[in-house]
Amino acid sequence: MFSRSFVQLWGINFTVMLTYYSLMVGIGPYVMNRFQVSPATAGLVAGITVIGILISRAASGFLWTRFSSRQLLFAGLAVIVPAVALYGFAGSVGLILILRLVHGLGTGLIGTVSNTAVVFTLPTTRRGEGIGYFTLSNIVATALGPFCGLLIVHLSGYQALFIAEVVVALIGLAAVLTVRSGTIPDPPAAKSVKPKRSVLTTMIEPATVPLSLVMTWVSMGYAAINVDLALLASERRLTAYSSIFFLVYAAVVLVSRPIAGRVMDAHSEHHIIYPAMAVFAFGLVAIGLSYSGAPLLMAAALCGIGFGNIQSAMQSAIARTTPARRLGQANSTYFIFFDLALGVGPYLLGLIVPSVGYQHLFEILAVMALAGMPLYYFAYHSKHRASAVIATA
């Protein structure tokens, strides 16, 4: 159905995201238990990878003017493998912070390169569907990473988790080494076109900023799910359902994204984004109102249909309207703003939780999701009608 390059990129991205998400939930408790640090320091250790991701995402567009996609994929995994291998030997919080930062640099580079290069492996008539399938590599990792990470820690301890991380990272590196030179596409003209702009616009695509800002706004709800859902579940004695939440979320996305991709190819991203934002808002409200397991899992399904398809539709919109020679910078811009929401969002939301409580927090986020519809219209829809064709200039 898809090319060998598509499958290779899917596997590489999946292994890297699996190491990222599985450690995100486990590294904080590990440093608290081993080094007796405060929760704030543990949060810094968990979140500093976002800084590394942002740096590498910002630099990836420029790096494409110097190196090939295959070289950048190899570089990303070449720093991830030793970083995860040293977690278990780090004797101080400072060293773990450095390793987490390096891990983030490799993760951001792999994510941006793979999500951009895969666009050029797809037929133009099936890009929406193909991107939907490819982004499932992130969704599956999002669900399996925390689930498997916590399970390994529970059964065998943190050293077993670190060993598992090394094995997964080595599988990703082996996948890169099997890629033949020239088979993973580069953005067209990435090296032949000399930058005529500032260093900043060489790394960032200004035309993508409005759409990326909308994604940041809507993603605040998902940031709350990543952090505050577990706290809400603990408060309401639903902890057993909080991990299942992400499995349901991923399963629903697995089913719905291929359908959404075909709709986008037949019509436009607008046909997915507006209803998906509305469904996501309902899912956030349902989380806030959940006091038993069944409603919480129903909320997971709604969020999967909603936010799970907003992600792929936004990325498809960027691929449809960005000139091919700037797609690397455009994807870099998109992911920078998305990561900002996931990195900064939990801290900002944590400031208002004591005042409003979890139910009202998710209700506020639902209103924000609904407000994303007019924001999307003015930032993007009104400028790019459904009849727009994929840019190739």
CATH of the domain at 37: 1.20.1250.20
Same domain, 23 and 44: yes
CB neighbour burial string for 245-278, b if at least 16 within 10 angstroms, e if fewer: bbebbbbbbbebbbebbebbbeebbbebbbbbbb
Residue 162 domain flag: yes
Domain check: are 239 and 381 in the same one?
yes
Is pLDDT at 387 greater than 50 in this prediction?
no
| Domain-ending residue, one of 152, 167, 187 | 187
In the chain, the number of structural domains is 2
Position 386 confidence tier, pLDDT thresholds 50, 70, 90: very low
Query: 296 with 241, same domain?
Result: yes
pLDDT score at 390: 41
Burial label, 101 (beta-carbon count in 10 A; 0-12, 13-18, 19+): middle
Assess if residue 147 is contained within a domain. Answer: yes
In this structure, the answer to whether residues 204 and 180 fall within a common structural domain is: no
97 with 26, same domain: the answer is yes
Write the DSSP symbol of residue 148: H
pLDDT of residue 381 exceeding 80, the answer is no
Of all residues in the chain, the percent with pLDDT exceeding 90 is 32
Q: What is the mean pLDDT of residues 319-342?
A: 76
pLDDT at 383: 66
Verify that 281 and 326 share a domain, yes or no. Answer: yes
Percent of the chain topping pLDDT 70? 90
Residue 159 has pLDDT above 80, yes or no: yes
393 in any annotated domain = no
pLDDT digits (tens, 9 = 90+) for 236-258: 888 778 778 888 988 898 888 88
Residues 313 and 371 occupy one common structural domain: yes
Write the CA distances from 110 to 36, 63, 384, 385, integer angstroms: 33, 12, 29, 32
Whether pLDDT at 63 is above 90: no
Do residue 106 and residue 235 come from a single domain? no
Q: Assess whether 363 and 273 both reside in one domain.
A: yes
**Quick one: 70 and 145 in the same domain?**
yes
Domain boundary among 162, 187, 212: 187
Give the orientation angle of helix 136-156 with respect to helix 158-177, to 10 degrees.
Answer: 150
What pLDDT band is residue 294 in, cutting at 50, 70 and 90? Answer: very high
For residues 77 and 19, membership in a common domain is answered with yes
pLDDT tens, 72-84?
999 999 999 999 9
Domain span including residue 250? 194-386
Position 161 pLDDT exceeds 70: yes
